[in-house]
Amino acid sequence: LWVLAFAAFFASAPLVCNAEGSSAMALPADARIGDYIGRDVMIPMRDGIRLHAQIWRPASASANQKLPMLMQRSPYGFTLERLQQSFENEYKELAAEGFIFVLQDIRGRFGSEGEFVMLRPKATSSKQIDESTDTYDSIEWLTKSLPDNNGNVGVFGISYGGWTAAMATINPHPALKAVSVQASPEDMFLGDDFHHNGAFRLQYGWEYSAALETDGRTLNPFDFGGKDVYDWYLQQQSELAKQDQLHLKRPLPTWQNFATHPNYDGFWKEQVTTTRLSAKVSVPNLIVAGWWDQEDFYGPLKIYEHQEKGDAQGRNFIVIGPWNHGGWARGDGKTYGPIELGSATSVFFRSEVETRWFRHWLKNEGTLDQAEALVFQTGSNQWQRYKAWPPREGVSRRNLYLREGGKLSFTPAKSGEPASFVSDPASPVPYRERPIAPLFSKESTWPEWLADDQAPFSRRSDVLSWSTEPLTEDVTIVGDVAAKLFASTTGSDADWVVKLIDIYPADEALPPAMRGRQLMIANDVYRARFRSSYEKPQAVPANQVVGYEIDLHSASHVFKKGHRIAVQVQSSWFPLIDRNPQQFVANIFEAKPADYVAQTHKVYQAGKYPSAISLGVERPGKLP
C-alpha cells in the first residue's frame, strides 16, 4: 500500500520503491511480465556517459518480426513491481499492439551514469549534452543495435516523463515519428509543480525534493514523525531557506534553488519548456492533460497553446480528460474521488486514443481520427470534439459578479460595501480538512485533493463566499476562466486565492458523498507582490484598491439545473502554498517568524470596482 500511495503520487507511472528504497538497476536474467521479456542495456552517449535502459519485447513476436519502439525516459526508476503495474495499466493496450518498450533512466538516476540536474537546462554548444541529445543518442543506438526493430520510435511519458518527451522533439532523431507529451510542466514559477503565479508550493516543493534528492538510486519520503503536516510546517521557526540543513543535515540542490531564486529570474526562465521547443512543430504530438491534475495542469495547456502557433501541418493535438495527475494511465477512470464519470474514461483514452495514435504513426496502420481538441465536459460527463481549443464559436464571454451579501450574479451592482476579513499567518486556512498527511505516505490522498468538499472552508471567517440562487437551467462554461479582483490590504503584501465552485443540491437522488458538495471547477493563487512584474516584486500600497487579473486556467463544465455557482476568496492555502508574511520582505525564504503579521483584507464588489469571474458561456439563456 505504501508503495501504491507513493506511486500514485509520483505521477503517472506507478512508481515503485520499497521502504528501504530499493532501486531498479538490473533485471533478473529471466525477467518476464505476461508476454514480455525484459533485459538491460547500457547505451553510450556522445560524451562517453552510459545510460541504463530496459528493453521489453513480446515473446510471441516471431524472431525476425520488425516492431516499432515506444520509449519512456524517467528520473524515478523502473522496478519490476512498478512495471508489473504498468503492464496492467499504463502499457496494457499498447502492449496488446506488440510495441517494444524501452524504459530509460535519465542521467544520474538509478542505473544510469552521470549527474542528475532537475529539468536540465538546454545545451548551448555542440559540446554540451542535455535531455534532447541524450534522447537522440539513445534512439541512434537503439535503431542500429536492436535486432528486428522497424526503425520507428515513439516517446511518451507523464509529468517529468512528459517533459522528457517534449525534449525529444528538439532537433529530433529522424526515427522519432511521434510523441505524447502528457502532464508536462511548462513553467515552474508561473503555473506548475513548484510555484503558481510566484507563490511557492511549499508542501510539494519540500516533500518532492527531499524524496528525490537522495543518492540518485533511491526515493525516500521525508519522515514527519506521524504529525499532521499542517502543524509540522507551521511549527518551523527557522527561515525556510535553512529547512534542509536543519532537518536533513545537508543542502538539497532543488530546495536551495527555491531559496536563492525567489523571483522570476534566468534560472526559472531557462527551464521554460516552450521557449526551448522548435517554433515549427515537426514531430506529431498528442498532448494530454487532466482537469483535476494536482501537479501539472498549467503545463500541457500552455504547451498546446504555444505550439499551435507553429503547427501549419496540423500535428499538434490536445486531449483534456477528467483525471488527476496521470489518471489516464491508471485503472479504468470511471470515477475521480467521489465523482462518477459515467464511463471508463482512462480505458477509452488508452485504447481509442493513445494506442491508435502510436499505431498510426509507428506502424502506418489504422486511420487517425483525432479531434484537434478532445475534451471531457465535466458535469455532463460527455466527450466533446473541438476544432480549436479554447473554442470560440457559440461562446460568449460573461462576467459573474461578486456582490454584497454573498450574492453572485451575471449583473453588476451599482453600489455596495466591500467584504472584509482578517488574514492571520499564525492560523492560515488549511487547503484540506485536517489532519493533512505527507504526500508520499500510505495515508496520502493527495491525488484526489482537488475533489475535496469546499463547504467546511466556507464556514471560516477568513474565507469569503458568494453564490447564485439554485440555477433554473443548466449553465455551460467552456474555455478560459479568470478572476478580476479589486482588493486592498492593511499590509504591504498578500496572497489571493480564488476558487470557482459547483454547489450540488442536497438531493436524495445523488450519491451521499455528492449531496451539498462544493466541488472546485477552477482555482489558483496569486501573490500580490508580483502584480506588475514577476522579475521585480513590489510592495503593495496599504489600504489602496488594487486590480488583479488572476488566471484560473480553463474549464469545460455544466453547472446543472438546481446547482448553485459559487466563488470563495481567501488569503492562505496552507501548506499547499507557503505563508505570505503580509508585509513586504525581499525574500520570503529568509523571512523571520516576527515578519509574519495579521492584516485586514477587503474585496470590492460594486461600482468602479466590480470584482468578477470572467467565463466563456455557451448558449447563455437565462443567466442568474
Chain residues that interact with ligand PG9, rule: CB under 6 A? 10-11, 119, 159-160, 163, 185, 193, 208, 295-296
Q: Which is nearer to ligand PG9, 208 or 292 (CB)?
A: 208
Minimum Å distance from CB 5 to ligand PG9?
Answer: 14
Burial of 331 (0-12, 13-18, 19+ CB in 10 A): middle
Q: Are strands 67-74 and 100-105 parallel, antiparallel or unpaired?
A: parallel
Instruction: Using alpha carbons, select from 500, 522, 558 the residue that is nearest to residue 380.
Output: 558
What single string gives the DSSP state of each residue in 47-65? TS-EEEEEEEEETTS-TT-
Q: Which is nearer to ligand PG9, 11 or 498 (CB)?
A: 11
Minimum Å distance from CB 520 to ligand PG9?
Answer: 19
Helix residue spans in 249-380 (DSSP H) = 253-260, 266-269, 273-276, 298-308, 345-348, 355-363
Instruction: Using alpha carbons, select from 236, 240, 203 the residue that is nearest to residue 222.
Output: 203
In 209-338, which ranges are E strands? 285-290, 316-321, 335-336
Minimum Å distance from CB 383 to ligand PG9?
Answer: 25
Between CA 392 and CA 389 the distance in angstroms is 8
Minimum Å distance from CB 324 to ligand PG9?
Answer: 11
Instruction: Using alpha carbons, select from 45, 42, 72 the residue that is nearest to residue 128.
Output: 45
My answer on whether omega of the bond before 575 falls inside 30° of 0, hence cis, is yes
Q: Which is nearer to ligand PG9, 157 or 418 (CB)?
A: 157
Minimum Å distance from CB 238 to ligand PG9?
Answer: 25
Q: Which is nearer to ligand PG9, 12 or 571 (CB)?
A: 12
Number of neighbouring beta carbons within 10 Å of residue 621: 11
Per the structure block, which three cell numbers stand in for 243? 529547512
Sign of CA dihedral 480, 486, 491, 492: positive
- The 3 state secondary structure assigned to 224-254 is CCCCCHHHHHHCCCCCHHHHHHHHHCCCCHH
Between CA 88 and CA 535 the distance in angstroms is 46
Minimum Å distance from CB 119 to ligand PG9?
Answer: 6
Give the three-state DSSP class for 377: strand
Instruction: Using alpha carbons, select from 315, 276, 40 the residue that is nearest to residue 168.
Output: 276
Minimum Å distance from CB 160 to ligand PG9?
Answer: 4
Q: Which is nearer to ligand PG9, 10 or 317 (CB)?
A: 10
Minimum Å distance from CB 11 to ligand PG9?
Answer: 3
Q: Which is nearer to ligand PG9, 163 or 361 (CB)?
A: 163
DSSP 99: P
| Gyration radius (Cα) of the chain, Å | 24
Provide φ and ψ at 179, rounded to 5°.
-130, 165
**What number of H helices and E strands is found in the chain?**
15, 28
Q: Which is nearer to ligand PG9, 204 or 421 (CB)?
A: 204
Q: Which is nearer to ligand PG9, 525 or 569 (CB)?
A: 525
Instruction: Using alpha carbons, select from 477, 479, 482 the residue that is nearest to residue 388.
Output: 479
Minimum Å distance from CB 205 to ligand PG9?
Answer: 10
Q: Which is nearer to ligand PG9, 162 or 379 (CB)?
A: 162
Minimum Å distance from CB 325 to ligand PG9?
Answer: 6
Q: Which is nearer to ligand PG9, 10 or 504 (CB)?
A: 10
Minimum Å distance from CB 254 to ligand PG9?
Answer: 8
Q: Which is nearer to ligand PG9, 11 or 155 (CB)?
A: 11
Residue with cell 474549464: 555
